[in-house]
Amino acid sequence: MSALPNCPKCNSEYTYEDGMMYVCPECAHEWSQDAAADAAEDERVIKDSNGNVLQDGDTVTVIKDLKVKGSSLVVKVGTKVKNIRLCDGDHDIDCKIDGIGAMKLKSEFVKKA
């Protein structure tokens, strides 16, 4: 017998199958078996401009001059950014750049160093 997944809403381990659905008896949450399989395979992978997979803590290099919105500052080509953090959204890299401060970058404008 295969182990059933925990409830995605309350993380209860007492889920059971009801036809093509999983049901949680503690919070009454129902979800399809297909959705459970997709959730396991659908972890977001963030890649740089060359297709290398990025991870938290990586060091990246900026490949294009980037204007800082609301300022006259520019992040120059070749700027190294250390210890990045990946996040959700359009700008998927959260980082701190020396001389500029905290900002978010798009992964398409960096390459892994």
Q: What is the pLDDT of residues 28-57, one digit of tens each?
A: 889 888 765 555 545 678 999 999 999 999
Other C-beta atoms lying within 10 Å of the C-beta of residue 63: 16
Q: Where are the alpha helices (DSSP H) in 1-113?
A: 33-41
Under 8 Å between Cβ of 86 and 106? no
In this prediction, what percent of the chain has a pLDDT beyond 90?
Answer: 60
- For residue 55, the model assigns a pLDDT of 93
Q: How confident is the model at residue 1 (pLDDT cuts 50, 70, 90)?
A: very low
Q: How many whole angstroms separate alpha carbon 13 and alpha carbon 16?
A: 9
pTM of the model: 0.62
